Amino acid sequence: MRFISRKAEVHECLDEARAENKSVGLVPTMGYLHGGHISLIERSIEENDITMATIFVNPLQFSEGEDLSSYPRDLQSDREQCEAVGVDLLFVPSLEEMYSKPVHTSVHVDNLTTSMEGRSRPTHFSGVATVVTKLFNITGPCNTYFGEKDWQQLQVVSTLARDLSFRINVVGCPTIRHSDGLALSSRNAYLTAEERLSASVLSRSLQKASELVQSGEILASVIRTLIVDEIATEPRVVLDYVEVVEGNSLGSITEIGPGARILLAAKFGKARLIDNVDPYVGIS
Ligand code: AMP
């Protein structure tokens, strides 16, 4: 595995690979790697000749008062995991390498970014769209792998790639979960032992909602209420939102049909966790 900290070195390696007709897979992350990240990397390795993982904790996508300074980091473990799984290039740029100061340009995706995460974290998606645009330009034509765990982000990134005509194919990958259903997340590290036990209420509520949909319920309001009530059984949880939407446009729906998605966010002490499900599939 080659460890790279400079954009110019990425250009050199990947231009050379593409000149030899090799396909390139890109897996952007903020590090503190877990099985969810590794599943994206494995998919990229399966589908491409060269896989580049990136680790960059992007300050632009954190709002004032969020967890930028405490965001968990462990570069040594990340390097070892990347090496073990077979990453070809690991790109870990410094803040200065990514952003010349001050930053005058940002990328904004309309519409998809105003609800849910966008309502709770108003500057978040511009930060994501800007850094993803930069990573796409640094990498060049490739397949790129994003998790369905961040469903709204996946829609934003797919739309951005299409709208700006990037020669990038965005591939969505399923959410990897612990055995009790909790989605793997770097932010799970913030949970106390007790909060960790309560956190399974998120996936449990989404699974119960999916079962109700699969048994014929179509009213989004009924499904929402079921989830709100289930989450209320856990006193340690502060629910942020539960939304039933059309999965690609993210528009609210009143009746559930194919393509629907249920998304939620909740706080457990210091940790703000998100999850979502296709109610016709459920939590698997
Ligand atoms: P992050 O490091 O949190 O920015 O995540 C980097 C990528 O990993 C994003 O595309 C996430 O959606 C994806 N990811 C995070 N957690 C999971 C998970 N549990 N299963 C699958 N993908 C995930």
Q: Is the CB of 61 under 6 A from ligand 1?
A: no
Say if CB 250 and CB 244 are below 8 A apart.
Answer: no
Q: What is the pLDDT of residue 13?
A: 98
Ligand 1 atom having least distance to the Cα of 150:
12
User: Is pLDDT of 102 > 90?
Assistant: no
User: For residue 188, which of 264, 268, 120, 128 has the smallest C-alpha distance?
Assistant: 268
Q: Is the CB of 183 under 6 A from ligand 1?
A: yes
CATH 3.30.1300.10 domain residues, the chain: 186-276
CATH 3.40.50.620 domain residues, the chain: 2-173
Q: What is the pLDDT of residue 43?
A: 98
- Residue 118, both tokens: 């966008």
Task: Quote the longest CA-to-CA distance of the chain.
Answer: 58
The string of pLDDT tens digits covering residues 121-171 is 999 999 999 999 999 999 999 999 999 999 999 999 999 999 999 999 999
Residue type, 27: V
Q: What is the pLDDT of residue 103?
A: 85
Distance 216 CA to ligand 1 centre (A): 31
What is the fold, at CATH topology level, of the domain defined by 2-173? Rossmann fold (3.40.50)
* Span 173-197, average pLDDT: 97
User: Is pLDDT of 256 > 90?
Assistant: yes
Say if CB 261 and CB 228 are below 8 A apart.
Answer: no
Q: Is the CB of 227 under 6 A from ligand 1?
A: no
* Span 264-279, average pLDDT: 97
Ligand 1 atom having least distance to the Cα of 184:
19
Q: Indicate the pTM of the whole model.
A: 0.97
Say if CB 209 and CB 279 are below 8 A apart.
Answer: yes
CA dist., res. 71 & res. 57, Å (int): 8
The string of pLDDT tens digits covering residues 212-226 is 999 999 999 999 999
Assign 176 a pLDDT band (cuts: 50, 70, 90). very high
Sign for the CA dihedral angle at 199, 203, 207, 208 comes to positive
Q: Which residue owns the Cα nearest ligand 1 atom 6?
A: 29
100-127 burial code (b ≥16 CB/10 A, e <16): eeeeeeebebeebbebbbbeebebbbbb
Q: Is 124 a catalytic residue?
A: no
Say if CB 53 and CB 91 are below 8 A apart.
Answer: yes
Report the half-sphere exposure of 211 (CA within 13 A, side-chain side).
8
SS3 263: strand
Expressed in percent and rounded to 5, the helix, strand and coil fractions of the chain are 40, 20, 35
User: Is pLDDT of 27 > 90?
Assistant: yes
- Lowest mean pLDDT across 61-70, 88-97, 248-257: 61-70
Please state which of the four CATH numbers 3.40.50.300, 3.30.1300.10, 3.30.420.240, 3.40.50.720 is assigned to the domain occupying 186-276. 3.30.1300.10
Q: Which residue owns the Cα nearest ligand 1 atom 13?
A: 147
Q: What is the pLDDT of residue 157?
A: 98
Q: What is the pLDDT of residue 269?
A: 94
SS3 183: strand
- Among 11, 37, 104, 124, the active-site one is 37
User: For residue 74, which of 189, 199, 192 has the smallest C-alpha distance?
Assistant: 189
User: Is pLDDT of 100 > 90?
Assistant: no
Q: Which residue owns the Cα nearest ligand 1 atom 5?
A: 29
Chain-centroid distance of CA 244 in Å reads: 19
User: For residue 198, which of 140, 133, 267, 102 has the smallest C-alpha distance?
Assistant: 267
Q: What is the pLDDT of residue 101?
A: 78
